[in-house]
Amino acid sequence: MPKSTNRTETIEVQCTFEQKAQIREYSAGSGTSMSTYLLDCGLKRRRQVEGPLINLLLYKRLGELSEILESQPQSCELQAILDLIWEVRREIALRRIGEAAEKGVLLR
């Protein structure tokens, strides 16, 4: 949407605290305001950042899983799982950095 467009109408949407936080995270990841992000989604103007956003969420969830697993009694199998989680998180981070560098974008 062009910046010169005068937005005069408001849409009120009810959601949970968690949903609002997730939308805020998605919009920040796309480099837009929440309003612009929601308009783009609602008007089906897809952004190419959906893959990296999914990767960011996966990265965070894997970190949470890793923290939970680290609190469990250690075993060889558990350490192998933790190593695998670390490798996947590393690959996600490297891919995000590489994509951002190609686009000249600063990661948040």
Which position has the token pair 């951002």?
Answer: 100
Instruction: Give percent above pLDDT 90 in the chain.
Output: 8
pLDDT of residue 17: 93
Rounded to whole angstroms, how far apart are CA atoms 88 and 82? 10
pLDDT of residue 1: 45
Kindly state the average pLDDT of the residues 4-28.
86
Residue boundaries of the structural domains of the chain: 1-47, 48-108
Cβ-Cβ contacts under 8 Å for 13 (sequence gap 6 or more): 38
Q: What is the mean pLDDT of the chain?
A: 79
Angle of the 17-30 helix axis to the 50-70 helix axis, nearest 10: 130
